[in-house]
């Protein structure tokens, strides 16, 4: 089975990213042929700094490798290295409904935040569809916020096949059941997020242990003292969820284990568990990030392997659509 996912090169990954997404990529290596792409072209759709983007791509590559991605067992590459992505994006625009793009939640949210709403931001989901469809991937591991984008790429693939003949594989999403929604520690009604969270409410993968413990100690909990999940108590529920995911147990087991412990000592325990969970990643990251030439070499090799796969699909798509060199002329 071929599995594809794209990851934004935003510099600082937080615990929610790690549990909800990054761990899924690592597991994908065991379940199939995993192709992971750092999406620098997507990152240009909102205001950004070019030098910082380059650095962030390497930050992200180092983070993925530190988390356990193994270039010998997956294809890890940078989107901007493989020109087939933007080319396929353009070709797929012909089978994408303008009205569908207008309905995308992420577009609406992001366009409300920026003064210049770029055409790139509008076409973002088509490029995302091209990312996946170029590899005829069957499965797309993503966070819950990407459900709509995966639905759209399915529609695009179906419409292409209907219009031009059976060519593209219709992918399906895979959203993790646990840990998909790690909430902000200060505002537990909202997801832990790179853009919308408070510094105090967000645990970054590269945070120092002391910072992690401090953030967890000052996490907003609710009135009462029982370690029990309930919709009225999003704060303590979130901490129970974090503990369960990290310990690979059920939330009910966490409740049982900390029955009567009180909020203070529970928070301390969660802090210790998170520190222990993230420490090895932080240490490997420091080592990997120090060698930029090695990171570029990994990405370069990945891009070469990706190109071979994407080229095949592009030749078929061009042929079906009647654009570019006639199929017989392709060597
Ligand atoms: N839009 C995704 C996000 O914000 C990133 C992404 C780009 C992606 N291309 C993709 C995810 C292809 C899955 C498949 O997280």
Dist. CA 224 → ligand 1 center (Å): 40
Backbone angles phi, psi at 247, to 5 degrees: -85, 0
pLDDT at 178: 60
**CB of 6 sitting under 6 A from ligand 1:** yes
Edge-to-edge strands of the sheet including 172-174? Answer: 74-78, 33-38, 2-7, 139-141, 172-174
pLDDT at 328: 72
Sign, CA dihedral 120-123-126-128, equals: positive
pLDDT at 114: 87
Q: 138 with 5: CB under 8 angstroms?
A: no
Claim: this prediction has a pTM higher than 0.95? no
Mutate to test the pocket of ligand 1, among 6, 14, 172 (most ligand atoms within 8 A of CB): 6
Tens-binned pLDDT, residue by residue, of the chain (331 aa): 999 999 999 868 999 889 888 888 999 999 999 999 999 999 999 999 999 999 999 999 999 999 999 999 999 999 999 999 999 999 999 999 999 999 999 999 999 988 899 999 999 999 999 999 999 999 999 888 899 999 999 999 999 999 999 999 999 999 877 656 789 999 999 888 877 778 899 999 999 999 999 999 999 988 888 999 998 999 999 999 999 999 989 999 999 999 999 999 999 999 999 999 999 999 999 999 999 999 999 999 999 999 999 999 999 999 999 999 887 765 5
Q: How far is the C-alpha of 252 from the C-alpha of 257, rounded, in Å?
A: 9
**CB of 42 sitting under 6 A from ligand 1:** yes
Sign, CA dihedral 61-184-120-162, equals: positive
pLDDT at 179: 57
pLDDT at 224: 82
Planar angle of CA 49, 52, 53, nearest 5 degrees: 85
Dist. CA 57 → ligand 1 center (Å): 14
What does R_g of the chain's alpha carbons equal in angstroms? 21
Q: Among the atoms of ligand 1, which is closest to the Cα of residue 42?
A: 7
Q: Among the atoms of ligand 1, which is closest to the Cα of residue 143?
A: 15
Q: How far is the C-alpha of 186 from the C-alpha of 239, rounded, in Å?
A: 11
Sign, CA dihedral 302-37-283-288, equals: positive
């Amino acid at each position: 089975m071929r599995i594809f996912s794209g990851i934004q090169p935003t510099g600082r990954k937080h615990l929610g990213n790690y549990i909800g997404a990054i761990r899924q990529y690592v597991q994908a290596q065991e379940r199939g042929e995993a192709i992971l792409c750092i999406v620098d072209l997507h990152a240009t759709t909102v205001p950004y700094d070019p030098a910082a983007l380059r650095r962030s791509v390497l930050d992200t590559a180092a983070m993925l490798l530190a988390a356990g991605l193994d270039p010998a067992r997956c294809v890890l590459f940078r989107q901007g290295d493989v020109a087939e992505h933007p080319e396929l994006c353009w070709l797929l625009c012909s089978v994408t409904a303008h009205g569908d793009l207008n309905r995308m939640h992420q577009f609406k949210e992001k366009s409300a935040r920026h003064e210049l709403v770029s055409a790139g931001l509008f076409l973002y989901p088509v490029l995302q569809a091209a990312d996946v469809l170029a590899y005829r991937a069957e499965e797309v591991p993503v966070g819950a916020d990407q459900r709509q984008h995966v639905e759209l790429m399915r529609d695009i693939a179906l419409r292409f096949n209907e219009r031009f003949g059976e060519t593209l594989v219709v992918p399906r999403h895979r959203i993790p059941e646990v840990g998909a929604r790690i909430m902000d520690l200060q505002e537990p009604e909202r997801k832990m997020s790179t853009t919308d969270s408070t510094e105090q409410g967000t645990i970054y993968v590269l945070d120092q242990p002391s910072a992690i413990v401090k953030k967890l100690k000052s996490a907003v909990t609710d009135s009462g003292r029982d370690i029990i999940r309930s919709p009225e108590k999003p704060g303590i529920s979130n901490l129970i969820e974090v503990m369960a995911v990290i310990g690979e147990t059920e939330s009910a087991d966490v409740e049982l284990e900390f029955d009567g412990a009180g909020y203070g000592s529970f928070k301390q325990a969660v802090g210790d568990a998170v520190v222990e969970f993230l420490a090895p990643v932080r240490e490997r990251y420091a080592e990997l990030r120090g060698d930029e030439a090695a990171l570029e070499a990994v990405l370069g090799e990945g891009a070469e392997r990706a190109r071979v796969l994407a080229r095949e699909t592009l030749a078929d798509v061009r042929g079906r659509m009647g654009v570019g060199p006639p199929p017989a002329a392709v060597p």
